[in-house]
Chain A
């Protein structure tokens, strides 16, 4: 299985970009995948959001702010505690993954999610309470964005919407928002979580080898994707608010 993966990696490494500069799925290097989203789809949760980015589908739910459950030592006297979970459906990948119970799975992804959200949520407004964020999908960046939307839907004040995006380097060109095939070929690349209004970064994670002088274009490509994402989010937010509460 491993050998097959490597072979595939080698196979796809070339030909990620056509001679005219188009990608496998017909996008230009700086284009993001098609994006569809919806807010407030589960009335039982305090906030929920759904994002579909290409073939990636993510559901995010928020419960809280509410009293801290469990031991009191978990609560903080001056701010709310943000607790994040990230889970992957057993059927989300090309091959079925054996579900592991409870805390174990996706914990590194949950950590990344938590890091990105903590930079945005105004936690000091809710001392001694907790906010639970659950994200369920297959891609870290989309999951982070969906979680931010769900927090927004829950009516929790934010500094800014977190928009997360990624970029990868293929044949010397930075590709914004790589899809599954591209990621399999050149590796995950750079993940960013951008706070668009201030232009600050809540998360930077580079997990592939990139030459130093190429790093800037890759980062630019990822940030470009985030900003594009933000424009789409903004449109959808306004639309859904108008739908629910009339003209704003």
Chain B
């Protein structure tokens, strides 16, 4: 990950601040930074979103393509995550440098979305055992400036919310051969049910306390962090410990509680923004990177 080099006194300053519930940028331990979300930014995707969380800048594109269902789940479609840590984000990702991080993030998202009902995969099935929709979720890290996982999960949820999959019908003639017919109306499409799509909240342990939405500097002071994925109802779908340090069980429970609380609030805030944007429809002025 993008490294910041901090001296001992700088670290101490951050740690002591966190102890007093006052962080370097004036936030409390459980406060989120201001995030910018915009959907439908790339025209040739099924759904896309861009999220800017202070310095972190993420672009997510979802493309729906037809594929064959997996053998173990013949009546379901599936999602595929791919995280591109291009050298754009930080020069350390040059060459193969970013691949490891990309694979790590992608695997975290597979676990987060592996829970049965996080997304209704059955609705992605077109023709059991033969055809289904595959949603390719491609994450592009434009700039990484701390709290990658949360920012990506916000962008992924926004992009999935924005995703529109064309409706198709399976026609079968007398001989039993099947044909897939695409609906003529481009606005006739399936939307995904977003009710159980989780968001990730990363809690970084700094000193005796934990903070949400850590900046790069704070991440440098934290030895261990806990990734908690929370649905809008407050249910946890997965937990993952990250970093070199260790956590004691007591604090894990505390962190889970905070994660739940913050995650629920985050869901409400995001949904509000997405609904607002949706209600503007085509009249919305697209900002993209020009804002």
**Interchain CA distance A91-B59 in the complex, whole Å:** 11
Q: A52-B288, A102-B99 are in contact. Are A87 and B91 (CB under 8 A)?
A: no
A71 CB within 8 Å of chain B: no
**Interchain CA distance A241-B43 in the complex, whole Å:** 30
**Interchain CA distance A87-B145 in the complex, whole Å:** 20
Residues of A with C-beta under 8 A to B138: 89-91, 96, 99
Which of B76-103 touch A at CB < 8 Å? 82, 84, 86-88, 90-91, 94-96, 99
Q: A44-B145, A93-B44, A102-B96 are in contact. Are A87 and B289 (CB under 8 A)?
A: no
Which of B4-62 touch A at CB < 8 Å? 42-45, 48, 55, 57, 59, 61-62
The answer on a CB contact under 8 Å between A90 and B289 is no
Partner of A45, one of B43, B96, B136, B143: B143
The contact string, 1 if C-beta is below 8 Å from chain A, for chain B 193-220, is 0000000000000000000000000000
Partner of B61, one of A41, A69, A89: A89
Which of A57-65, A160-168, A170-178 lies at the interface?
Answer: A57-65
A interface, how many residues as a size bin? 20 to 34
A55 CB within 8 Å of chain B: yes
The answer on a CB contact under 8 Å between A87 and B86 is yes
The answer on a CB contact under 8 Å between B143 and A42 is yes
Residues of B with C-beta under 8 A to A99: 82, 84, 138
A128 CB within 8 Å of chain B: no
Residues of B with C-beta under 8 A to A45: 143
Partner of B42, one of A38, A57, A102, A132: A57
A3 CB within 8 Å of chain B: no
Residues of A with C-beta under 8 A to B269: none
- The smallest C-beta distance from A87 to any residue of chain B, in angstroms, reads 5
- The smallest C-beta distance from B73 to any residue of chain A, in angstroms, reads 21
Partner of A91, one of B48, B142, B288: B48
The answer on a CB contact under 8 Å between A134 and B143 is no
Q: Which residues of B contact A (CB under 8 A)?
A: 42-45, 48, 55, 57, 59, 61-63, 65, 82, 84, 86-88, 90-91, 94-96, 99, 136, 138, 140, 142-143, 145, 288-290
Cβ contacts A to B, 24 pairs, < 8 Å: A36-B290, A44-B143, A52-B289, A55-B44, A57-B288, A57-B289, A59-B142, A63-B91, A69-B91, A85-B86, A89-B42, A89-B61, A90-B61, A90-B63, A90-B82, A90-B136, A91-B61, A91-B63, A91-B138, A92-B44, A93-B44, A96-B138, A132-B87, A132-B94
